Amino acid sequence: MPIHTSAPNEKAFHVSWDQFHRDARALAWRLSAAGPFSGMVAITRGGLVPGAIVARELDMRIIDTFCVVSYVGEKTQGETKVLKSVQPETLRGGGEGLLVIDDLADTGATIKRVRAVLPKAHVATVYAKPLGRPLVDTFITEVSQDTWIYFPWDLGLSFQAPIAAPG
Catalytic residues: 102-103, 106
Q: Strands across the sheet with 98-105, in order?
A: 76-84, 63-72, 39-44, 98-105, 122-128, 138-142
Q: Could you tell me which of 60, 59, 39, 62 has the C-alpha nearest to residue 118?
A: 39
Beta bridge partners of 82: 68
C-alpha 76/C-alpha 83 separation (Å) is 18
C-alpha 101/C-alpha 111 separation (Å) is 10
Cα angle value 100/55/36 (rounded, 5°): 70
